Amino acid sequence: MKPGASRGVPPLRIAIAGGGYVGLVTAAGLATLGHRITVAEAQEDRVHDLRAGRLPIREPGLGALWDRAMERGLAVTAPGEQAYAEAQLIIICVGTPPRDDWTQDLASLEGAARDIGSALAHSHQYSVVAVKSTVLPGTTQGPIRSAVEKASGRRAGGDFGLASVPEFLAEGNAVEDFLNPKRIVVGGLDDASTKMVLAAHEGLPGPRVVTDIPTAEMIKYVSNAFLAARVSLSNEIGNICKALGIDARRVLEAVGMDDRIGPKFLRSGVGFGGSCFAKDVRALAVRADTLALGSQMLRATLQVNEEQPRRLVELLRGRLDSLSGRRIALLGLAFKPGTDDVRESRGLAVARLLVQAGARVVAYDPMAIPNARRVAQDLEYVGTSAAALEGADACVIATEWPEFAHLGREFKAMRRGLVVDGRGALDPRDLNIEYEGLCW
Ligand code: UDX
């Protein structure tokens, strides 16, 4: 899209608080719409890298979008009052990491809110503060609003605007998700806040959902809870199918043809990983507890997900008698194909269980080894599938990287050609291996 093409409003001055995954995609995407963007990022070396066009994340299409945004004047700066002084719209995209008790750590968010408040204290223009970070309902109108009001000495609603504009970006598809959203959800404190956020997104396709702030915050959690629950239900169904000698994939494919159900997020296997599903479902479950409501479905979603790697390891133990001293080739460490992200990776969950059982795990992943190495030092890492399979007593597939589907003669180098597939990554026909699927 050309700058400002098909937009009826003049470009806005927009500041993005946080140059992480969500902040960078949002900044580059909004720049494509013709807006003047400043990104405020706390890590000095990252500011330096971003200015030089070096992105800290891999995301298809983001590099090209970023370069064009820089040509159009996108600026990267340290956070603080100055970063937000000129902005008409400030979008907070900082992280909300979980604490040990699954509650959210809001320190970065409140820090950004204070900086923004200090900027608003000296500003003569009307600005809107919008929260894109995933926060539980009540957070934007509670601690965030208070922090901005306190630091600015101004009042939300009259003196500045407040909104929630949750993100629905899936890793590996984030640029596409931004440019072609399924819906844009805007929760505004008042009309002026909502209008500003809508104006920033003018030019993007898709329906707009205009609502209040807590509803917008909740939509994000419920979207992730539904998707995660579908995966866990598919996995539970998959376990039952397996015990009955039925291929769960055929069952779920047919079930998904019913348009009341739909075909997506019905792939059974070793479970979901990633930065959002487990974190958000846990946070919502804990919130339900604090409301004395209980959360059976949310907790079951998490329990089934924790159980799948254990099932896979038990299947392997059953085939090998004992895991102690066995050499296991682990193919796949990323939480899904197309990313180097290992957060909540099911492959690493399997690896931990195998190591606990005394196995020697030799792991390969096309992208995620550097990140895996940082969190799992007790695995051996190798540069190819073939090297992992060489002399292995068994192989586990934990991520459905397309290259695994082409493996063939590499299995011949195994001591015993036993493959336990947690993702349906392999078609075992014509392969001379002992194949065992987790749910089929
Ligand atoms: C998800 C949401 O899709 C996105 O909208 C939200 O903003 C963040 O969380 P992401 O974590 O990037 O995005 O990955 P996604 O593609 O949704 O997959 C999540 C996990 O579920 C992966 O580990 C994937 O392997 C697993 N999954 C997905 C299944 O096991 N079965 C399925 O049918 C679908």
Residue in 26, 93, 134, 171 to alter for ligand 1 test, most ligand atoms within 8 A of Cβ: 171
CB distance 87 to 38 below 8 Å: yes
> In 10 A of CB 64, how many CB atoms?
11
Looking at residue 8, its pLDDT comes to 65
DSSP structure string for 365-428: -SS-HHHHHHH-TTSEE-SSHHHHHTT-SEEEE-S--GGGGG--GGGGGSSS-EEEESS-----
Distance 438 CA to ligand 1 centre (A): 19
> In 10 A of CB 50, how many CB atoms?
23
* CA distance readout (Å), 388 to 326, 327, 349, 430: 13, 9, 18, 21
Looking at residue 80, its pLDDT comes to 84
Q: Is 260 exposed, middle or buried (0-12, 13-18, 19+ CB in 10 A)?
A: exposed
Looking at residue 7, its pLDDT comes to 59
C-alpha to C-alpha distance for 81 and 115, rounded to whole angstroms: 5
Going by alpha carbons, the residue nearest to atom 11 of ligand 1 is 274
Looking at residue 3, its pLDDT comes to 44
* CA distance readout (Å), 130 to 22, 118, 161, 197, 213: 14, 16, 8, 8, 10
- Parts of the chain with a pLDDT under 70: 1-8
Looking at residue 278, its pLDDT comes to 96
* Per-residue model confidence as pLDDT tens digits over 298-319: 999 999 999 999 999 999 999 9
Q: Dihedral of CA 408/413/419/422: which sign?
A: negative
Residue in 22, 236, 276, 307 to alter for ligand 1 test, most ligand atoms within 8 A of Cβ: 276
CB distance 78 to 40 below 8 Å: yes
* CA distance readout (Å), 135 to 209, 341, 345, 418, 427: 18, 22, 23, 44, 41
* Per-residue model confidence as pLDDT tens digits over 169-189: 999 999 999 999 999 999 999
Residues with CB under 6 A from ligand 1: 167-171, 224, 227, 231, 265-267, 269, 271-274, 276-277, 335-336
Distance 170 CA to ligand 1 centre (A): 7
Per-residue tokens: 339: 């990313």
C-alpha to C-alpha distance for 439 and 160, rounded to whole angstroms: 53
C-alpha to C-alpha distance for 221 and 108, rounded to whole angstroms: 20
Q: What is the C-alpha radius of gyration for the chain, rounded to an integer number of angstroms?
A: 24
> In 10 A of CB 192, how many CB atoms?
15
Going by alpha carbons, the residue nearest to atom 26 of ligand 1 is 272
Residue positions annotated with a catalytic role: 276
Q: Which atom of ligand 1 is nearest to the CA of 167?
A: 7
Mean pLDDT of the chain: 96
- DSSP category for residue 142: I
* Per-residue model confidence as pLDDT tens digits over 37-67: 999 999 999 999 999 999 998 899 999 999 9
C-alpha to C-alpha distance for 207 and 215, rounded to whole angstroms: 16
C-alpha to C-alpha distance for 419 and 374, rounded to whole angstroms: 27
